[in-house]
Amino acid sequence: MHRRYSAAELTRFRPGWNARLLAGHAPGLEPVAEKYKARLLADIEAGRLVVEESGACLCGGGDFLPLAATDRFGLPFGSLLCTRCGLVLTSPRLAEASLPRYYNEIYHPLVFGTERIAEYVNFTGYGQGRLVWERLSPHLGRREALRVLEIGAGTGSVLHEMREAALADGCRLEPWGFEYSRDCLDIAASRFGITLLEGGCAEALALGRSFDCVVLSHVLEHVSDLPAFLADVRALMRDGTLLYVEVPGLMVLHKSPWYEYDFLKYAIHAHTFAFTRQTLVGVLRRFGLADIASDELAYGIFAKGERTPDEDFAAVDLVAYLAFVERELGYLQGKETLAVKTRADDEPTDGGA
Ligand SMILES: [Zn+2]
């Protein structure tokens, strides 16, 4: 059993390690990003987009260690670590009902810095669909045909690549996908010949179809009402359906040059949760999704299972990891040599010893 540490205890452990993260920042942004950052704030101010406090953690815990005060754009969306289960929550966050408008109007130009969305056909990098197929296919056995559903399908590039990779393995893949961004729907149709449908999980459920695989590639971390979302995802699955979930893993920050190894560049208001392998698997188990495989990157393959209670997880491990990355940021970015590390720094002290 891990000992659980309160936020107060975790704060005393290597005090001030995240002072830079808590100070917030005002990064210089490209003009398009600056325009959409202002538009996001104006939409919130005018009530067109609703933000809410994250409230209690999914595990029921209410003791949080503040990790950072702002996100990568300098927007006032903070990150909180649940000291009970180790899940990282964004608070405040965009309310679930505001997500369709946000993803249709704000997200892509703000994050990718261009209003010409077609320039960013593949948001998660070319090869993502092939990678998903490589990870999933050993668990599927030999199949001649598969019906695959992707929620948050973007421009359809993942489904397109999966279909190509499956075909090379002798499997005919029937792609189904839902997406909120109408620009993305147009690109999927014109570039890949894939007809994505507008919507999310609720619209997929309304189809009344069953699927062999459900893919959530960089989607789960964007959901605000995770219990309702995962209940819908589970309802989309029958016995034998495999669920592929991939999120940007927090415990690989030290090998994430695209975030410059920096938690402040990792943090983004669009991510309502940040996961490690343990918290990803722990959250899905809580909602009746049993893990078959998982990785710290973080991804997991799941099947319908029983609801299982929380996995014991030491939040102190994540804090120690983040404190290490923060201390060695200069080294990771190639600007400094590795700081001298003392073992005594790595363990929180119990009591006044
Ligand atoms: Zn928790």
Specify whether 65 is located in the same domain as 209. Answer: no
Residue 341: pLDDT above 70? no
Give the mean pLDDT of 92-99.
94
Model pTM above 0.85 = yes
Read off the pLDDT band of 353 (50, 70, 90): very low
CATH of the domain at 229: 3.40.50.150
Q: What mean pLDDT is predicted for residues 154-161?
A: 94
Cβ-contact 242, 217 below 8 angstroms: no
Specify whether 137 is located in the same domain as 245: yes
Question: Is 1 part of a structural domain of the chain?
Answer: no
In a domain, 293, yes or no: yes
User: 139 and 208, same structural domain?
Assistant: yes
Q: What is the pLDDT of residues 57-72, one digit of tens each?
A: 999 999 999 999 999 9
Q: How much distance in Å is there from the Cα of 56 to the middle of ligand 1? A: 8
Q: Outline where 197-351 has alpha helix (H).
A: 201-206, 226-235, 263-266, 277-286, 315-327, 329-332
pLDDT of 3 reads 75
- Ligand 1 centroid to residue 332 C-alpha, Å: 29
Task: Give me the chain's average pLDDT, please.
Answer: 91
Give the residue from 319, 320, 352 showing the smallest Cα distance to 64.
Answer: 319
Pair 225, 298 in one domain = yes
Asked whether the predicted pLDDT for residue 81 surpasses 80, the reply is yes
Domain span at residue 203?
Answer: 121-260+270-304
Tell me, in angstroms, the distance from the centre of ligand 1 to residue 201's CA. 24
The pLDDT score that the predictor gives to residue 13 is 81
Query: What are the tens digits of pLDDT across the range 229-271?
Result: 999 999 999 999 999 999 999 999 999 999 999 999 999 999 9
- pLDDT on residue 351: 47
198 phi/psi in degrees, rounded to 5: -80, 130
- Asked, for residue 2, whether it belongs to a domain, the answer is no
Mean pLDDT of 88-104: 94
Give the distance (Å) from ligand 1 centre to CA of residue 84: 5
Residue 25 in domain: yes
pLDDT at 183 > cutoff 90? no
Quick one: which of 346, 297, 296 has its CA closest to 323?
346
- Closest by CA position to 204, among listed 149, 146, 147: 149
For residue 345, pLDDT over 60 is answered with no
The Å distance, Cα 225 to ligand 1 centre, comes to 15
Q: How far is the CA of 261 from the centre of ligand 1 (A)?
A: 25
Distance of CA 257 from the midpoint of ligand 1 (Å)? 28
Distance 60 CA to ligand 1 centre (A): 6
Total structural domains within the chain: 2
Q: For residue 140, what are its two tokens?
A: 């599927």
Residue 351 lies in a domain: no
Q: Is residue 353 part of a domain?
A: no
Calculate how far, in angstroms, residue 7's C-alpha sits from the geometric centre of ligand 1.
12
Least confident among 101-105, 299-303, 309-313: 309-313
Residues contacting residue 186 through CB under 8 Å, at least 6 positions apart:
none
Residues 156 and 298 in one domain: yes
With 90 as the cut, is the pLDDT of residue 174 above it? yes
| Ligand 1 center to 242 CA (angstroms) | 26
Distance 240 CA to ligand 1 centre (A): 29
**Same domain as 214, residue 291:** yes
The rounded distance, in Å, linking the Cα atoms of 115 and 32 is: 7
150 and 290 together in one domain: yes
What pLDDT sits at residue 115? Answer: 84
State whether 173 and 60 are in the same domain: no
What's the 71 CA to ligand 1 centre distance in angstroms? 21
Q: Tell me if 286 is assigned to some domain.
A: yes
286 touches 172 (CB < 8 A): no
Q: What tens digit of pLDDT does each residue of 217-233 get?
A: 999 999 989 999 999 99
Number of H helices and number of E strands within the chain? 14, 13
Q: Is residue 159 domain-shared with residue 255, that is, in the same domain?
A: yes
Evaluate whether residue 309 is within a structural domain: no
Question: Do 84 and 163 reside in the same domain of the chain?
Answer: no
The rounded Å distance from CA 252 to ligand 1 centre is 20
Q: Is there a single domain that holds both residue 33 and residue 98?
A: yes
- CA of 83 relative to ligand 1 center, distance in Å: 7
Residue 22's pLDDT band, with cuts at 50, 70 and 90, is very high
Ligand 1 centroid to residue 87 C-alpha, Å? 5
Q: Are residues 297 and 234 in the same domain?
A: yes
Tokens linked to 291: 């893990």
